[in-house]
Amino acid sequence: MQRSLSKAFFSEEKKQKTFISFEAAPRKVTLQEAKVFWFFFSKKNILPSLASIVARPGFRRWAARFPFTRPVARAETRALFDICAGFVYAQILKAGLELRLFDILLEGPATAEVLAPRLRLTVDAATRLLDGAVALKLATKKRHGRYALAKLGAALVGNEAIAAMVAHHAMFYADMADPVALLRGAGPTQLSTYWAYARAESPGGVLPAQVAEYTRLMAASQPLVADEILDAYSVRRHRCLMDVGGGEGVFLSAAAQRAPDLQLKLFDLPPVAERAASRFKANGLAARAHAVGGSFLHDPLPQGADLISLVRVVHDHDDDSVLHLFRALRQALPRDGTLLLAEPMAGTKGAERMGDAYFGFYLLAMGSGRPRTAATLTAMLRACGFGQVRQVPTHTPLLTSVLVAHPA
């Protein structure tokens, strides 16, 4: 092995004058080798305080040059830049969706000159957008200057859920324009107005016009989540499923297809329940699907279901409201009943940013709720009369995680 590490000296007594001296290796070091190097030193406590050392500009310059640390330094620089540039990336995606770029590229590769008129852009602007899409791996660039659809871009074609969420983020970004003011609770936000029930003194009094837009948004994104839940937990074993906070009934409609004999109930705010009843009728489910209007914070829950579902409901509400809801669910369920709780959860392995970063700030702007871990939700359920609580795996934990709970 043509490498030699001659000296690594860190003075614990004189941390302000830490001295580092390495002989450079004569060949390139892979990123994996560099990570092993860092892991060894940090675990062996050879680095007195890794964070404090990395914070020093001189060390960062050295790390960018030294072969063992150079790959890690470059990777972390890219990661930090991606955090800084995240808004720009999202806006490139938004522009591509608004201009139907990905639908057009699905027809086949084309040059910027050919695509520009269809995008209603100049050739220079079209090239700029296309190159940005290539950089984000939404598109690829082929020979003779032609652009083609990449796998990530293909996943956007016909995907109403993503398109709706990207468009919806305009309000979220406006609320995040001054994140410090948001953290300090300065003034109303666009999201708190959009989600009418979040700060309403009487959620049951929310008007139909106030729920129309957000129920459409939830309905657009619900099919992907519904499939994740129903693949993870079979509802065919149950007699009657009640979806609390069930919106327009998309989840129940999907459950109906999986279990033809399953009776269905939906409980949501009165104007939302009316929209669900219309969907059930349109889907030919009026005979076995019933929508009941009310507020789970103020009204008793309907009885008779042996399975109750909560799909993307709990994280929208503060702890006191959630505990009240859990106690009401326990009262509504028979002793052999089941609660199915599904939503994105904080601390999900591989989706940590989704929980505490994205939903942490989204719910702050919304003015209600917080992301919770599966362990936190389990403890809250047990405090409200549920005994056995288990987490069942889903195909895509980023979309939703699932807890199954039974009364104690």
What pLDDT, in 10s, does the model give residues 196-223?
776 655 666 667 777 888 888 888 888 8
Same domain, residue pair 344 and 203: yes
Residue 119 has pLDDT above 90, yes or no: yes
- In this model, does residue 33 exceed pLDDT 70? no
Residue 80 domain-assigned (yes or no): no
> In degrees to the nearest 10, what's the CA dihedral of 12, 17, 21, 27?
100
Could you tell me if 65 and 113 lie in one domain? no
Same domain flag for 68 and 115: no
Per-residue pLDDT for 375 more than 70? yes
Alpha-carbon 393 to chain mean position: 16
Asked if the structure places residue 10 within a domain, the reply is no
Q: ∠ CA 167-217-187 to the nearest 5 degrees?
A: 70
The domain tally of the chain equals 3
Q: What is the DSSP letter of 47?
A: S
108 and 19 share one domain: no
Question: What CATH number should be reported for the domain holding residue 267?
Answer: 3.40.50.150
> Which CATH number do you get for residue 140?
1.10.10.10
Q: Which residue has the higher pLDDT, 232 or 31?
A: 232
Among the candidates 154, 175, 194, a domain finishes at: 154
Residues 129, 172, single domain; the answer is no
Is the distance from CB of 21 to CB of 58 less than 8 angstroms?
no
Is there a domain that residue 1 lies in?
Answer: no
- 400 shares a domain with 290: yes
Comparison of pLDDT for 374 and 56, the residue scoring more: 374
pLDDT at res. 12: 35
Burial class (CB in 10 A: 0-12, 13-18, 19+), 80: exposed
Q: Are residues 135 and 239 in the same domain?
A: no
Q: What is the mean pLDDT of residues 358-369?
A: 94
374 and 335 both lie in a single domain: yes
- The last residue of one of the domains, among 33, 58, 74, is 74
Q: Which helix (H) or strand (E) holds 310?
A: strand 307-311
Query: Residues 341, 322: contact at Cβ < 8 Å?
Result: no
Span 152-169, pLDDT tens digits: 999 999 888 889 899 999
33 shares its domain with 136: no
Token digits of residue 58: 């001189």
Instruction: Please check whether residue 9 lies inside any domain of the structure.
Output: no
Name residues whose C-beta falls within 8 Å of residue 86's C-beta, 6 or more positions apart in sequence.
Answer: none
Residue 87 lies inside a defined structural domain of this protein: no
pLDDT band at residue 37 under the 50/70/90 scheme? low
Structure-token match 């720009």, residue found: 88
Residues 292 and 177 in one domain: yes
Nearest to 385 by CA among 336, 324, 327, 302: 327
The answer to whether position 241 is within a domain reads: yes
Query: What is the pLDDT at residue 43?
Result: 54
Asked whether residue 33 falls in the same domain as residue 178, the answer is no
Q: Distance between CA atoms of 124 and 129, rounded to whole angstroms?
A: 9
Computed over every residue of the chain, the mean pLDDT equals 87
Q: What are phi and psi of 96, to 5 degrees?
A: -60, -40
* pLDDT digits 0-9 by tens, 295-350: 999 999 999 999 999 999 999 999 999 999 999 999 999 999 999 999 999 999 98
Evaluate whether residue 316 is within a structural domain. yes
Same structural domain for residues 226 and 315?
yes
Distance separating alpha carbons of residues 165 and 145, to the nearest angstrom: 32
Could you give the C-alpha distances from 194 to 98, 293, 337, in angstroms and in order? 22, 20, 35
Q: Show the domain range for 67.
A: 15-74
- pLDDT band at residue 2, thresholds of 50, 70 and 90? very low
